[in-house]
């Protein structure tokens, strides 16, 4: 009787926790990082949630880095579907910059790796940089066609470079402007970063 009661109580507790904390009941953060992204002297927290094969969602909690995160707290910034690719790294690179690395294929015969740099300027989260590299092998009637290359865009300086095949990187003849993070998507990446 006691065992049946304990199992019933445990089941009720799990249901209660799932109802109270739905965001964390089903998903465990793929990545979590503490940094001072808005450079106000308080530690912020960045969380990337991604289920297997699903797009990655980005949550930013300002001034919540040193405390235990309350699941009922609403994030200060949310970007659903930040990338369709698998997030492989989340890091801080000084001055509050946040770098998110993702890949498609991840080293397979058809693969790309994207790096998105996020900065906080004048009260707004911006895309400060974007880089992409590719190594794409396609079967043709003559064998295998390999396409390799990469691009590197610095939205803060307005400059970018691109390389195709085994050539050295060349400047892109275009001025780039910082883009609000809320507006970023893979379709907004520069044409030079497509292959």
Domain assignment of residue 7, yes or no: no
- Tell me the two tokens of residue 24: 């964390």
**Own/partner long-range contacts of 13-21 (Cβ < 8 Å, ≥24 apart):** 20/71, 20/72, 21/71, 21/72
Count the domains in the chain: 1
Domain assignment of residue 171, yes or no: yes
Domain assignment of residue 120, yes or no: yes
Domain assignment of residue 65, yes or no: yes
Range of the domain at 35: 29-193
Domain assignment of residue 18, yes or no: no
> Would you state the pLDDT for residue 18?
40
Condensed to tens digits (0 to 9), the pLDDT of residues 1-17 reads: 444 444 344 344 334 43
Domain assignment of residue 69, yes or no: yes
Q: Average pLDDT of the chain?
A: 84
Condensed to tens digits (0 to 9), the pLDDT of residues 77-88 reads: 999 999 999 999
Average pLDDT over residues 64-78: 85
């Amino acid at each position: 009787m006691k065992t049946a009661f304990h199992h019933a109580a445990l089941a009720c507790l799990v249901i209660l926790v799932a109802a109270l904390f739905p965001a964390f009941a089903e998903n465990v953060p793929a990545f979590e990082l503490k940094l001072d992204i808005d450079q106000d002297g308080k530690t912020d927290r960045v969380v990337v949630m991604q289920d297997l094969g699903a797009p990655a969602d980005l949550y930013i909690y300002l001034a919540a880095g040193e405390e235990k995160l309350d699941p009922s707290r609403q994030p200060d910034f949310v970007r659903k579907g930040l990338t369709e690719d698998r997030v492989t790294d989340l890091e801080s690179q000084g001055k509050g910059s946040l770098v998110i690395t993702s890949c498609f294929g991840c080293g397979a015969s058809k693969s790309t790796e994207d790096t998105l740099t996020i900065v906080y300027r004048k009260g707004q989260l911006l895309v400060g940089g974007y880089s992409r590299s590719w190594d794409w092998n396609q079967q043709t009637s003559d064998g295998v066609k390999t396409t390799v290359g990469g691009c590197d865009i610095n939205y803060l300086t307005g400059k970018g470079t691109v390389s195709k095949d085994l050539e050295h990187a060349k400047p892109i003849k275009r001025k780039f402007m910082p883009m609000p993070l809320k507006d970023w998507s893979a379709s907004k990446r520069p044409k030079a970063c497509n292959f």
